Structure 1
Amino acid sequence: MDTNSDPLDRLDDAQAAAAFRRLVRHLRHRTDAQNIDLMGLAGFCRNCLADWIGDAGFPGDKAEARELVHGMPAAQWKERHQSPATQEQLDRMAASMERNAPE
């Protein structure tokens, strides 16, 4: 896709940053939305957002990026909010990931 013709690239960085922060805070609040379900539906999850922060030049490591997104250390978030994945969830995630565009 030619990014010069994508209106998203004309969005002001401050507006984009504000929308991103709102998305992350929404996901922090919606702990019932499991990462595996996000992956199964949309092909990305909280951990993906953290990876994208790293890809964008965040100077911290993967654990620090995940803590930014989760609002706490990832291990603590998993302990508090993550349920074991079912085979159905894993299958749905695999099918969804096949639809993701190559990076």
Structure 2
Amino acid sequence: MDDQTKLELEAAAFRRLQQHLMQDRPDAQNIDMMNLAGFCRNCLSRWYQEAANERGIEMTKAEGREAFYGMPFEEWQSKHQTEATPEAQAAFKETH
């Protein structure tokens, strides 16, 4: 497989992951993702921002989040984020 095809497949897989997390499973809470997988939507948005910055593209944390979430983070929170359970908070403190 040539490098361009590999890059395109990786980009397609990323877009599918983003769609899954944003449209198909907005009910999956970030804290639960952190507890189970060690990363969440915020991590993905930060990695996106860091990749842009490494390439000389100025992007703030808020801009990275908006690019990944498809809306301002505060809007996402109000639409989809629920209060973390005491158990989820305790697990997060234990692992992070």
> Of the candidates 41, 46, 60, which is equivalent to residue 36 of structure 2?
41
Larger fraction in helix: 2
Structure 2: how far apart are the matches of 1:46 and 1:69? 8
Counterpart of 1:25? 19
Which residue number corresponds to residue 6 of structure 2? Answer: 12
- Moved >4 Å (runs of 4+): none
Shift of 1:57: 2.3
- In structure 1, stretches of 5+ residues that fail to align are 1-10, 98-103
Normalising by structure 1, what TM-score? 0.76
Cα distance in structure 1, aligned partners of 2:93 and 2:11: 30
Contact 1:40 1:92 in 2 (8 A): yes
Separation in structure 1 between the aligned mates of residue 89 and residue 38 of structure 2, nearest angstrom:
12
Q: Which runs of 5+ in 2 are unaligned?
A: none
The alignment covers a number of residue pairs equal to 87
**Higher RCO, 1 or 2 (CA under 8 Å, sep at least 6)?**
1
Q: Counterpart amino acid of 2:16?
A: R
User: What is the rounded CA distance, in whole Å, between the counterparts of 1:69 and 1:57 in structure 2?
Assistant: 12
Identity %: 48
Per the normalisation by structure 2, the TM-score is 0.81
Aligned mates of 1:68, 1:93 — CA distance in 2: 26
Kindly report the root-mean-square deviation, in angstroms, between the aligned alpha carbons of the 2 structures: 1.6
